[in-house]
Amino acid sequence: MTLGRNILWNFLAFVWLSLLVIFVTPYMVHHLGLEAFGVWAVIVAINIYLTALDFGVGNALIRFLAAENERGDARQLEHYLRSGLTMQAVLGVCLSLGLYVLSGPLVHGWIQVPAQIQDDALIAFRISSFAVFFGFMTVAYASVPAALHRFDLLAVRTVLFFTLQFLLIVLVLYLHGTLPAVVTVYVSSMAGMLMYLMWVSKRLLPKAVLLPGWERGAVMQLLRFGRMKFPAQLSATFLQQFDRIALGALAPVNLVSYYVVPQRISQRLSQTSEQIATPFYPTISSHLIADRISALRHQYQQGMRMVLMAVCGAIAVLGGLAVPLLKVWMGDDFAREGSMPFRLLLLAYGASAIFTLPSVAADAALRPGIPAAFMVAGSLLHAVLLWIAIPRWGLTGAAGAVLCGYLILLLGGVPALHRRIHALPPLASTIMECRGALVAGSLTFLVAAFIARGGYAGSGVLALLISAAGLSLLFLVLAYAMGGIRKDDFHRMARTVRARSEAVPQ
């Protein structure tokens, strides 16, 4: 399947998931209450963090499966996959048991859970421990369609199972279900995703054995790559999730709800970049193996322009309309408590988004240690600042700490990666490619801030949508006029939509 179609499938699934989050979040907050929703946010953060403790095996699987697929070595591909499945299964079982055992201390001592919901919170944490194992195995099996450039199948997974998950959560809450019931739906959807990906993997590799196995050489290769990638992966998850856990430990859990609502929208920025960058991973690996450096550089700069368009447009529109957006979406309390953290988090995850594609290129070039060093530095700074800033400045302090961590990646990591990964184009030329989006975003933000002060955008849903649509159109016009988006991009997009899937080598 072409790179363009992979990006398109990823992006469509991402947009659908974002819409689900937007519509379902107010319903969950209303029916669960601020305290229970805060506990739910902490549970999800801990589950995501534990799933990242795979020593980089999931990421390594994509890289090595893509490389062996390019070489046509089906036997070695199977060795890597089966060995990776075994490693993921062992880690998943251990960490699932660990979370189950530690659920009591988490609820009764480490997180500020109100006494009236502690029993439900304990049950919910214990149920969620099963999702950790399912998450590890899902990552392993998802490496097959990712490595074989079939992101359409991953997009179907996202749309199908997350839609079902959110619909069932709404139904459970409508029937007066509690937090444990919501977590049960979450765990069940993870199990469904795993079964779907097992079926997809067998469809793509019909002759391969897709059960856990062990091949010492493959294990050593995965661990060798993973030990370099793991610090970056762990640090990235730490930067994205630990602020919620720290707030739950240092502040009343209801404040987590005021924070996690703007955070969930802000994190869409870095996830937007991931939808663009993830298909580049196997593609860049293939270009490097075949020594197609010119094609790599062209596609890399195209990808960076796409990322900057998404980042600058989102920060300009959402950041400028932060107060009316939160007011219309969640109410006056959320607008008052969350607008400044929202803007800071948008900047933070925008910086993360820009760092994503250079980091992916480093992984594909077998240089994961470079982004890892900056990720570790950013996460350590972020952790220290969280413990200082939350008691003093609350939600704004937490968001500011996240921003400081990500600025390490943007200001230090991106230049370093361009210097040390010689296959990448010069940083100066890449900046020139993206300058149109930067200028257009700055001008659009000023207009958005002026509109927000007038009060019209916050007067209702229709007024907010009209304001956001008008600002988005303004951004696109400015970006087109300044070269941030070009005629070739539209032609390429049209060709992508019309293109047929390429045959996948078996």
pLDDT, one tens digit per residue, over 276-301 is 676 666 677 777 777 888 888 888 88
pLDDT of residue 33: 92
Each residue's pLDDT tens digit, 46-75? 998 899 888 888 888 988 888 888 788 888
Q: Residue 40: which H helix or E strand, with range?
A: helix 34-51
Evaluate whether residue 505 is within a structural domain: no
How far apart CA 262 and CA 361 sit, in angstroms, is: 30
Evaluate whether residue 506 is within a structural domain: no
Q: Show the DSSP H helices in 175-215 as ranges.
A: 179-204
How far apart CA 265 and CA 21 sit, in angstroms, is: 8
Q: Show the DSSP H helices in 148-252 as ranges.
A: 151-174, 179-204, 216-250
Evaluate whether residue 373 is within a structural domain: yes
pLDDT of residue 4: 58
Evaluate whether residue 504 is within a structural domain: no
Ranges under pLDDT 70 in the chain: 1-11, 275-276, 278-282, 486-506
Given a contact cutoff of 8 angstroms between Cβ atoms, the answer to whether 314 and 352 are in contact is no
pLDDT of residue 497: 40
How far apart CA 128 and CA 187 sit, in angstroms, is: 6
pLDDT of residue 499: 42
Evaluate whether residue 450 is within a structural domain: yes
Closest CA to 284 of 368, 352, 406: 368
Evaluate whether residue 189 is within a structural domain: yes
pLDDT of residue 172: 95
Q: What are phi and psi of 276, to 5 degrees?
A: -80, -40
How far apart CA 65 and CA 147 sit, in angstroms, is: 6
Segments forming the whole domain that contains residue 411: 3-498
pLDDT of residue 303: 83
Evaluate whether residue 201 is within a structural domain: yes
Evaluate whether residue 168 is within a structural domain: yes
Tell me how many domains the chain contains.
Answer: 1
Q: Tokens 């502040």, residue?
A: 251
Given a contact cutoff of 8 angstroms between Cβ atoms, the answer to whether 88 and 137 are in contact is yes
pLDDT of residue 498: 47
Instruction: Confirm whether pTM is higher than 0.85.
Output: no
Q: Show the DSSP H helices in 331-456 as ranges.
A: 332-364, 369-408, 414-420, 427-454
The torsion of the CA quartet 459, 461, 462, 465, rounded to 10 degrees, works out to: 110
Closest CA to 506 of 200, 153, 72, 79: 72
Distances (CA, A) of 464 to 446, 447, 451, 477: 17, 14, 10, 20
